[in-house]
Amino acid sequence: MVSGLSEFPVRKLTARRPKAPRTLVRIAPQSVGVFYNIPSAVKVTRNSSAGVIEFVDQYFSPQDLATFAKQFNVAIPPITANHIVGKNDPNNPQVEAELDIQWVLGIGVNAQGWFWIEADNVWLYGFGVHMFGTTNVPLVNSISYGWNEEDQCEDGIGGDECQQLGVDSKGYVARVNIQFQKIGLRGISLISASGDSGANGRTDPDCTENHLNPPYPAASPFITSVGGTQIDETDGKANLPNPPPGCRGQNCASAGTEEAVSYDQAEYASGGGFSFVASQPTYQAAAVQAYFNSGVQLPPASYYNAQGRGFPDVAALGSEVLIIADGSIEPVGGTSCSSPIWGGVIALLNDRAIQKNSKPLGFLNPLLYKMAAACPTCFQDITKGDNVCTEDGCSPNCKGFYCAKGWDPVTGLGSPNYGAMLTYINNNILNKN
């Protein structure tokens, strides 16, 4: 394939700024530590690395990253020049890139940080070829971009790559899935935001179509897809012990009930559903069947592919998340917050795996579903919420999925319990190698 023939903007899962001042509790790295059982002293000690994948002129400011580290008392080493792939413009930082890099390294404390930005005309196939063919790459990668699975060959998305490959959108998705599979075989973890416009998707904000729209790459079976959660506004608490400077006046969360994000509170709905291209992988078959057997309300059967790959796989906080942008603290939201949080968690777990046997966890999904079956406490099950609305609101025509006990196509297996996950990995994987 020859790339670089033309330039179009790629649509993405945009980090969302609240439309109006909010009084909700907000999320600092210390909040995530409390909610997800990550001790404050935990940090990367070996060659565990974590990075973010960006497209279309999304740059980060090293100064903002350093300010984030200082304001929230987290150890983030500067990103070295050889860990920046592509051209970053530090004088033109964008909210999405700032969010991604600050949070993957704000949770994966002390990890080797990477910033990877593709050229304007490159989409997922080009990225997959690039990463697979590059010798030195980050072990954990968070992607906050996506578009409707059936529209991957649109101009401005993968149109050029589809034309060069001679495929339609279905063929394009299949080819990218192969690239993602190859990357996983190298021991590299790919993590993706699940989308911000519910089960209906960004291409159908008013829910006029007769089917749901899974976003891609979230619907790939070879990527770990992450849905969004929020703190229930009725019971959120903000009394962190020894809060960092960045929490002054910010109401940083210390307790509360985690639920699926809702349009009413977070102003978006978490993406989730079933792929129309990829069949359901064996690693999740039992969990998906349990969902269908639970008696939960479902959309019309013709709206989704019950035999397809179900997503998301997991979830994390994705509303009122604090970042530094242009030197100032501000809250943002979106599953593009949730994905780098999980990336940071995996960077911490990778550190233990590398210490023990020099091998990273790699492709995560088979491990996550096996872990959930054997260790239910390894995940914090989210049983409240749905993804019926879109980012434009809730039309009476909108359909979607509802949370249930166990896996569901809104919040997956749930949010992480780092301590329990670490114990499970130590006892069932590392001590057997």
| Residues paired with residue 231 on neighbouring β-strands, in sequence order | 258
**Catalytic pick from 64, 100, 149, 392?**
100
Does the active-site annotation cover 100?
Answer: yes
Catalytic one of 54, 64, 96, 408: 96
**Residues in Cβ contact with 410 at an 8 Å cutoff, skipping those fewer than 6 apart:** 227, 260, 270, 272, 312, 315, 382, 385, 386, 387, 400, 401, 402, 403
- Strands 314-317 and 224-231 turn out to be parallel
CA distance 299 to 148: 19
Pairing verdict, β 147-148 and 112-117: unpaired
Is-contact 173 81, C-beta < 8 A? no
CA distance 111 to 80: 12
Torsion sign over Cα 2, 140, 65, 238: positive
Half-sphere CA count of 83, side-chain side, radius 13 A: 18
Amino acid at 1: M
What SS3 class is residue 98?
helix
Query: Which tokens go with 136?
Result: 């030195």
Please indicate whether residue 339 is annotated as part of the active site. no
Q: Is 270 a catalytic site residue? A: no
Cβ contact 224:190 at 8 Å: yes
State the DSSP string of 406-431. S-BTTTBT-EE-HHHHHHHHHHHTGG
The token pair at 129 is: 């070829």
Question: Among the options 189, 275, 319, 336, which is catalytic?
Answer: 336
Alpha helices of 47-94 — where are they, by DSSP H? Answer: 62-71
- Residues with a catalytic annotation lie at 96, 100, 336
